[in-house]
Amino acid sequence: MDIKILKNIYLFKELTNKELEKILKIANVEKYPANHVIFREGDAGDKFYVILKGKIRISKQVEGIGEEALAVLGAGSFFGEMSLIDDFPRSADSITNEPVELLTIKKEDFENLLFFDKDLAYTVLWAFLRTLSSRLRETNEKIKAFFAMSAHF
């Protein structure tokens, strides 16, 4: 894996080459075919994922309806990060839309890195917060649209 690839990922774009090398030391690359379940809602969260190639859909199973896609994420996006912040089970399913290549980082390795490198921790955690904030705003808009539509019924 090349540091240049990490530089193009929002989560890591502000890190120095030395910091990126630290990330690479704890990261693994995993490849999966289309329609492969990465994790299911309720699974324990032991790592997070960065999409290097391909697309992933984040979805929930809705009783009486089936799978409802919440988001489709492409190269450069990350998911499963909530497991790094809390100890709750996965909140949704993650399924490959097409063959994917993922950079994975185990929770324990990530926590250790952040504990020992406060500058790296500060930069990465702010990127996490900006992304979570953006996703929350997007969810709020979807909820607003849903309530607007259901008011007409």
The CATH number covering residue 17 comes to 2.60.120.10
Percent above pLDDT 90 for the chain:
50
Q: State mean pLDDT over 17-44.
A: 95
User: Beta strands of 16-141 (E only): which ranges?
Assistant: 27-32, 37-39, 47-53, 56-62, 66-73, 78-79, 93-96, 100-106
Q: What confidence score (pLDDT) does residue 99 get?
A: 98
DSSP 8-class letter at 11: G
- pLDDT range class, residue 153, cuts 50, 70, 90: low
To the nearest whole number, what is the mean pLDDT of the chain? Answer: 89
Range of the structural domain that residue 13 is part of: 3-150
Q: What confidence score (pLDDT) does residue 152 get?
A: 64
Q: How far is CA 30 from the centre of its chain?
A: 14
What's the number of domains the chain is made of? 1
DSSP 8-class letter at 65: T
Q: State mean pLDDT over 92-104.
A: 96
C-alpha–C-alpha distance, residues 137 and 95, integer Å: 23
Handedness of CA 48, 111, 123, 2 (dihedral sign): negative
Q: What confidence score (pLDDT) does residue 59 get?
A: 92
- pLDDT range class, residue 34, cuts 50, 70, 90: very high
pLDDT (tens digit, 9 = 90+) per residue, 113-149? Answer: 989 999 988 888 888 888 888 878 887 887 787 777 7
- pLDDT range class, residue 112, cuts 50, 70, 90: very high
**Between vectors from CA 102 to CA 122 and to CA 48, what angle results, nearest 5°?**
45
Q: How many helices (H) and strands (E) does the chain have?
A: 5, 8
